[in-house]
Amino acid sequence: MYTKRRQPQRRNIYHFTGPVAVIGAGVTGASWAALFAAHGLFVRLHDQNPQRLASGLERARKHAIFLADHGMANPKSVEVGLRTLKPCTELSEAVDGAAFVQEAVFESYEVKGAVFEAVGRYAPRHALIATSSSGLSISRMQTAARYPERCRAGHPYNPPHLIPLVEIAPGEHTAPEAVEAAQQFYEGVGKTPVVLKREVPGYLANRMSAALWREAINLVLDGVASVADVDRAIHLGPGLRWAVMGPHLLYHLGGGEGGIRYHIEHLRDAKEAIWQDLDDWKKMPPETTETLERGLPGRGEL
């Protein structure tokens, strides 16, 4: 059933009485820490690199203050969260007693697996564990976890303190109640979760983006249009619609009184003709990088 998007309401966040641990103080980790702190949660930010931890902590503070200054967070909650935001160089300290662990370390099975293993040793058994990975298999990462049933993907669209989407994807061993609890937790900090019924590479948003980008590249390589015009065709056309609603609802509305059924019945042949003409290469053509670079402005021009 399709339901209208509603603004998430602050609720009792899965009865979370313990702190929230963010593992990794890079761009994504600092953004997560800011979001959690802005909602008044007791946050521990961990990174084994002291310099990265210090810069991540400062970035998290600035992000949280930005949310308060722009009416996106309660200033009192931000004040509480920043007062209790704690940097930790030891992972064991960060996850001690934690109710929720958001991992945001380097995109590598080896690195993330080591984090999952360590969290299993030092965090309480009831702690939920989420990986911010954008494409690695959660099922494979679960093999390193002591309690794999508590682990699943909680993939944000960066930066997570600003963009509401978070993708919750279960692994092979994820318990259904862990997915439900994660959904409640993320809603409680203002996120809009989408829940995958099963794990697929790229989850939802990146998977659909990859499909669109392949065709965008192909249109340039085939000489159909320039890089600039392909980009304009998206951001000045369907991109404006997509900022409001997704493709299924758009076509449902486009079908008028008949809805999606009318749309499919009357445009099936036209859509199928386009699909038959789309390329389906699985490896990026070797000329892609140089061709796109020639069509894009230099970094200094942006």
- Check pLDDT > 90 for residue 301: no
Q: Give the bridge partners for 155, in sequence order.
A: 167
Q: With cut-offs at 50, 70 and 90, classify the pLDDT of residue 147.
A: very high
Claim to verify: residue 107 and residue 191 sit in the same structural domain:
yes
Q: What is the structure's pLDDT at 15?
A: 54
In a domain, 301, yes or no: no
Claim to verify: residue 80 and residue 159 sit in the same structural domain:
yes
What tokens appear for 144 in the block?
């390193």
Dihedral, 196, 199, 202, 207 alpha carbons, nearest 10: -60
Domain that holds residue 288: 205-296
β-pairing verdict for 165-170 and 151-156: antiparallel
Q: Is 64 helix (H, G, I), strand (E, B) or coil?
A: helix
Integer Cα distance of 153 and 129 in angstroms:
8
- Check pLDDT > 90 for residue 72: yes
CATH number of the domain bearing residue 60 = 3.40.50.720
Mean pLDDT for the stretch of residues 46-57? 98
What tokens appear for 72 in the block?
């996106």
Helix pair angle (205-221, 227-235), 10° resolution: 140
CATH number of the domain bearing residue 252 = 1.10.1040.10
Integer Cα distance of 184 and 178 in angstroms:
10
Q: Is 21 helix (H, G, I), strand (E, B) or coil?
A: strand
Count of structural domains within the chain: 2
What tokens appear for 93 in the block?
């300290």
